[in-house]
């Protein structure tokens, strides 16, 4: 979602544009375009409207609010390789495929995560990640990371029950 609340395909986002983040506009500082490789593509079982690769972080709630990741091992490798700056504690991620509520512009939604076995995916499938100052952004209605960097953005300040009100009616 762009800062003006218009939707734009992630592959068309450009450096220098502003995305809507949890705390207003956030500048796209760079773009990370890699290939899917041997990563899994995921989706939500009930509607399959949102698709992402297994190492990407989504804001979730299960007892507490924090970042959720399907494959924390792949996530930590990406941090080690410098693709993202990461968290102060990269072992603090929630994980698993059931029982989580995910932050959506309409509030918390309960979703079961499943692998997307679509024939559209192969090792050469391009992935797109706009990199910001670490501010979480809205993608397909969900709150996700955009170049996770807890040194630049304090994720402990996120409270989705409070913060999602700014996205209502989008």
Mean confidence (pLDDT) of the chain: 92
Instruction: Tell how strand 101-104 and strand 107-110 pair up.
Output: antiparallel
pLDDT given at position 46? 87
User: Which residues touch 88 (CB under 8 Å, ≥6 apart)?
Assistant: 150, 151
pLDDT for 170 beyond 70: no
pLDDT for 95 beyond 70: yes
Domain residue spans in the chain? 10-167
Q: Mean pLDDT, to the nearest integer, of 154-161? A: 95
Beta bridge partners of 131: 30
What fold does the segment set 10-167 form as a domain? Endonuclease - Pi-scei; Chain A, domain 1 (2.170.16)
pLDDT given at position 36? 94
User: Which residues touch 22 (CB under 8 Å, ≥6 apart)?
Assistant: 135, 136, 137, 143, 158, 163
For the full predicted model, state whether its pTM sits above 0.95: no
Q: Mean pLDDT, to the nearest integer, of 115-126? A: 89
In order of 67, 73, 132, 159, the CA distances from 70 in angstroms are 10, 9, 22, 22
State how far the Cα of 145 lies from the Cα of 143, in Å rounded to an integer.
Answer: 7
pLDDT given at position 169? 60
pLDDT for 127 beyond 70: yes
């Amino acid at each position: 979602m762009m800062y003006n609340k218009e939707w734009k395909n992630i592959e068309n986002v450009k450096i220098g544009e502003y995305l809507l983040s949890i705390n207003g506009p956030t500048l796209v500082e760079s773009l990370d375009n890699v290939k899917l490789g041997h990563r899994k593509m995921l989706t939500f079982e009930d509607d399959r409207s949102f698709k992402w690769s297994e190492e990407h972080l989504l804001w979730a709630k299960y007892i507490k609010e924090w970042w959720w990741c399907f494959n924390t091992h792949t996530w930590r490798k990406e941090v080690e390789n410098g693709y993202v700056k990461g968290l102060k504690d990269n072992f603090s991620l929630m994980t698993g495929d059931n029982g989580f509520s995910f932050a959506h512009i309409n509030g918390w939604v309960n979703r079961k995560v499943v692998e997307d076995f679509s024939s559209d995916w192969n090792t050469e499938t391009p992935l797109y990640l706009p990199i910001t100052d670490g501010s979480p952004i809205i993608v397909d209605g969900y709150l996700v990371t955009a170049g996770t960097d807890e040194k630049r953005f304090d994720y402990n300040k996120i409270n989705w029950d409070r913060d999602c009100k700014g996205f209502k009616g989008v």
